[in-house]
Amino acid sequence: MTKEGQLTINSTIQLNKISVTPFLKHVIVSSIFPVIILFVWEFLSRIGVFESYQLPAPSAVLLKAVSLYQSGELLPHILATFMRVLIGFGIGTTVAITLSILVGFWPLLEKLIDPTIQALRQIPSLAWVPLFILWMGIGETSKVTMIAVGVFFPVYLNVLSGIVTIDRKWLEVGKVFGLSTCHQITKIILPAVFPAFFTGIRTGLGLGFMFVVAAELMGASEGLGYLLVLGQNTLQPDTILVSIILFAIIGKVTDGSLKLIEQRLLHWQDTEIRGTGK
Amino acid sequence: MSLTVEQLTRTFNDVTAIQAIDLTIHEGEIICLLGKSGCGKSTLLRTLSGLDLAYEGTVSFQDTPLTGVRDEIGIVFQEPRLLPWLNVLENIRFGLKQPNQATIKRVDRFINYVGLTGKAHLYPKALSGGMSQRAAIARALVCDPEVLLLDEPFSALDHFTKLELQDLLLKIQGKYNTTMVMVTHDIDEALYLADRIVVLSSQPGTIQDIIEIDSPRPRTRTSRDLQQVKQKILTTLHI
């Protein structure tokens, strides 16, 4: 028991020394600015500079969030939005990866379909909305399709550029050691494309959230986008702000998770990570 | 005899890089290919490696024509070309077809042999140029090649590291009797290492002179004999 206890204490201390202190420092430093803004906002709201029907105080927004949560409305909205992004992101990413691999390794296909994709890319993805609604109605299908289209392009473009810009010198190393085509792909091409892949899916995820808002604004009966419309129609800016802030939090958490996975998998990259001093 | 080249010509888009090269490389020999830049030294080395097959003439290894890369022929490039997502150990193991206990031991031995003890778990981004090139040499040696081709392997390194790695090559050659063909533009390097120096002329690259150096190793880099040979090479190259 004592030994175990000591071990725990030791490791906590080490943990503190290595990671927690700089992390806390980072959190504190980066919170200074938003905390000041919140206090100023609260103060100005209380003395009546902002009208509460236009910009409610942070405390009022927080209370609204708590009441929405307690009434059991909030979680289904969050879940609905999250699932739409997840499914659309999944479909868009899968199609993008498949196509970019085919196009990247098959020159004929590149000549055949890449110009078309490059042309379609020029269409602002939101311009598809009316057509999708006409085709698929205002249901889940059109929403998920829209998100998938938004996610598709950044993933496709990044993975493809990752594939076509692989250093010939690395491929030659594979050739020198007599690697089979299969091993060339798994041992050299895939790891080499990984950085571009992560750039692609992180951009894609960001766009996914942008498109879920657009999709839900068009017409939805649940979701954070629906909360935005609801707040507008019922003159409740606090509801709108709750939704906006939740979008920020969910976006940050999902991107942060991807970034964490990226850093774990791509620790070998010779790049300086900003802000960590490494 | 291990590697033979007969009437080797290689052209790139109507520009002849090397022309009518005849050369026989004997087992256990160190050959240095010397010449100005653009004289086709690297082109010649690439055809010997089996990486470049679009040549005219014949290249044969142990009396059979070379039809592609072979396990018996290892190559070390000018840049170390370590794969950045693998650590030193994994990079050195990279060329092994079926890693088993014996080959894993071999990897460990070579890590120590090339002077990378304790660095096995570092990633290429943490290595200096010299350490990277040591790892690249180990990666080629682990596959137990009979011939080691080296394409200006030390030209990007500082002078002292270069001298150390030249001695490493001699140590390897002494121990494993590896045949070595090295492209270089450093006359002193060629004089220190080579049994024969093949001097190539420029555009198109043809063999201008083959100089045998019979002074015993280890050689003194500043010896009078070697300096005389150096003068001869400089004259051959019109410098």
Q: Does B69 touch chain A (CB under 8 A)?
A: yes
Alpha-carbon distance B173 to B148, whole Å? 10
Mutation choice for B interface testing from A169, A176, A194 by most B CBs within 10 A? A176
Contact B83 A270 (CB under 8 A): no
Contact B57, B21 (CB under 8 A): yes
Grade residue A8 by pLDDT with cuts at 50, 70 and 90: very low
Predicted pLDDT of residue B202: 84
Quote ipTM for the complex.
0.85
Which of B42, B67, B75, B85 should one mutate to test binding to chain A, selecting the residue with the greatest count of A CBs within 10 A?
A: B85
**pLDDT tens string B173-204:** 888 899 999 999 999 999 999 999 999 988 78
CATH topology of domain A58-265: MetI-like fold (1.10.3720)
In the three-class reduction of DSSP (H, G, I as helix; E, B as strand; rest coil), residue B5 is classed as strand
- At B96 the pLDDT is 86
| A191/B83 Cβ within 8 A | yes
Q: What is the pLDDT of residues B23-46, one digit of tens each?
A: 999 999 999 999 888 888 889 999
Three-class SS of residue B147?
A: strand
Q: What's the whole-number mean pLDDT along residues B132-144?
A: 91
Q: Which residue of A has its CA nearest to B142?
A: A177
Residue B92 pLDDT > 60: yes
Is B143 near chain A, with CB under 8 Å?
yes
Which string of DSSP letters, residue by residue, matches B44-109? HHHHHHTS----EEEEEETTEE--S--TTEEEE-SS----TTS-HHHHHHTT-SS--HHHHHHHHH
Rounded mean pLDDT of B79-98?
90
Chain B neighbors of A173, CB-CB under 8 A: 81, 83, 94
Closest to A81 measured CA to CA, from A244, A247, A200? A247
User: Which residues in chain A are contacts of B51 at CB distance < 8 A?
Assistant: 172, 175-176
On whether the CB atoms of residues A208 and A26 are closer than 8 A, the answer is no
Q: Which CATH architecture is the domain B3-236 placed in?
A: 3-Layer(aba) Sandwich (3.40)
Closest CA to B17 of B203, B152, B201, B182: B203
Cβ proximity of B51 and A172 under 8 Å: yes
Domain coordinates in residue numbering, chain B: 3-236
Identify the band that residue A254 occupies on the pLDDT scale cut at 50, 70 and 90.
very high
Angle at B22 between CA B16 and CA B27, to 5 degrees: 130
Least confident of A10-24, A166-180, B193-207: A10-24
**pLDDT tens-place string over residues A136-163:** 988 889 999 999 999 999 999 999 999 9
pLDDT of A1: 40
**Residue carrying the six token digits 């009316």:** A130
User: Could you tell me if B3 and B30 are in contact, meaning their C-beta atoms sit under 8 angstroms apart?
Assistant: no
Q: Using the beta-carbon criterion (under 8 Å), do A178 and B69 form an inter-chain contact?
A: yes
Distance, in Å, from the CA atom of A8 to the CA atom of A18, rounded to the nearest integer, reads: 15
Q: At what angle do helices A74-105 and A224-233 cross, to 10 degrees?
A: 130
**pLDDT tens track for B222-239:** 888 888 888 888 888 887
* Least confident piece of the model among A38-42, A203-207, B131-135, B219-223: B219-223
pLDDT value for A18: 53
Pairwise CB contact (< 8 Å): B125 & A268: yes
Strands B30-34 and B15-25: unpaired
* CB proximity under 8 Å: B 76-115 to A: 77, 79, 81, 83-86, 94-95, 97
Question: Which amino acid is residue B89, in one-letter code?
Answer: L
* Residue B71 pLDDT greater than 90, yes or no: no
Q: Check B81 against A169: CB less than 8 A apart.
A: yes
The angle that helices A74-105 and A107-121 make with each other, rounded to 10 degrees, is 140
- 3-state secondary structure at position B40: coil
pLDDT digits (tens, 9 = 90+) for A102-126: 998 888 998 999 899 999 989 887 8
Torsion of CA B11, B17, B22, B23, to 10 degrees: -120
R_g of chain A computed on alpha carbons? 24
Average pLDDT, chain B: 89
Query: Which tokens belong to B59?
Result: 């290249």
CB–CB contacts below 8 A, A to B: 46
